[in-house]
């Protein structure tokens, strides 16, 4: 039955719906048992959201890995409680910087640095989400974490207080914080006006479908999350043993595997004659396999 398949589907998320809301709609549309996502997008944000179907939800850590690319606009001369324009305005100021000065300041963020997440983020403080504490009016502080900015390019607009941006950042980097910190460095304040995720890891918007186009035909092989891993196929009997977690099946799989890429540490396995991957095996230094991730169970 198709509803038992495991895979991924890339969604071009529209504004006005949460990532959890997208997951719920995909689950209903496909009739899938389990659905999750990799890398939350704010309700106001748009763009690429990788949705994991059934057993592929176990591959979430792999899906969340890899660089992220975002585009949108930043408003200069304003600070808000949420570091974007949806929040309460705290300060405003006239902007007297020319564009070249703003772009030069943005370039200084390229590289590794410590970044404090927005207070409306999903980070947990004492077991509770930061955005919930913010809504309740509670005082709290979030710990800074190291992030990496590969590129931070700005382009002018007809409005001197608004700039377009295109950034490539490490996982866990907040564009809202980047805009806030840019405003602090300029001395005028800044907040994000719009956010669109263009790419995540190996996936871009060219692989995404609209919400109304969700179907099993659009579901992809979850192995594409880790395209650099070599693949092996095993017999039906061994595949059944592996998906059942049988240790003896690991020995049989090693015996059936004629060749593995040199220095490979992980391999994806599937049943012979079937393109659907079933899980990931770890290659032991002295030879043989051990279980790394079982998607089919």
Catalytic residues: 42
Q: Are strands 68-76 and 46-53 parallel, antiparallel or unpaired?
A: unpaired
The C-alpha atoms of residue 139 and residue 157 are separated, in whole angstroms, by 37
Long-range contacts of 150-158 (CB under 8 A, 24+ apart): 150/67, 150/110, 151/110, 152/106, 152/107, 152/109, 152/110, 152/178, 153/103, 153/106, 154/74, 154/99, 154/102, 154/103, 154/106, 156/99, 157/73
Among 50, 70, 36, 46, residue whose Cα is nearest residue 207:
50
Q: Are strands 124-125 and 128-129 parallel, antiparallel or unpaired?
A: antiparallel
At residue 88's C-alpha, the angle toward residues 87 and 91, to 5°, is: 115
């Amino acid at each position: 039955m198709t509803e038992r398949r495991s895979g991924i589907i890339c969604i071009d998320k529209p504004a006005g719906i949460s990532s959890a809301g997208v997951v719920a709609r995909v689950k209903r549309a496909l009739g899938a048992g389990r659905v999750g996502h990799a890398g939350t997008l704010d309700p106001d944000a748009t763009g690429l959201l990788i949705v994991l179907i059934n057993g592929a939800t176990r591959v979430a850590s792999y899906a969340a890995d890899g660089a992220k690319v975002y585009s949108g606009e930043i408003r200069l001369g304003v600070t808000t409680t949420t570091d974007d324009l949806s929040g309460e305005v705290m300060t405003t100021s006239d902007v007297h910087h020319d564009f070249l000065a703003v772009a030069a300041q943005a370039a200084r963020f390229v590289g590794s640095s410590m970044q404090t997440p927005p207070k409306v983020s999903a980070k947990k403080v004492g077991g509770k989400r930061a955005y919930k504490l913010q809504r309740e009016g509670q005082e709290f502080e979030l710990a800074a974490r190291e992030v990496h900015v590969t590129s931070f390019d700005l382009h002018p607009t007809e409005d001197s207080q608004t700039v377009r941006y295109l950034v490539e950042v490490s996982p866990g980097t907040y564009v809202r914080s980047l805009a806030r910190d840019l405003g602090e460095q300029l001395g005028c304040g800044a907040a994000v006006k719009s956010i669109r995720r263009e790419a995540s890891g190996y996936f871009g918007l060219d692989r995404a479908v609209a919400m109304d186009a969700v179907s099993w035909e659009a579901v992809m092989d979850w192995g594409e999350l880790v395209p650099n891993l070599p693949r092996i196929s095993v017999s039906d009997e061994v595949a059944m043993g592996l998906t059942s977690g049988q240790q003896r099946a690991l020995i049989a799989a090693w015996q059936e595997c004629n060749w593995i890429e040199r220095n490979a540490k992980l391999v994806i396995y599937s049943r012979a004659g079937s393109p659907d991957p079933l899980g990931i095996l770890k290659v032991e230094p002295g030879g043989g396999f051990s279980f790394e991730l079982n998607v089919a169970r």
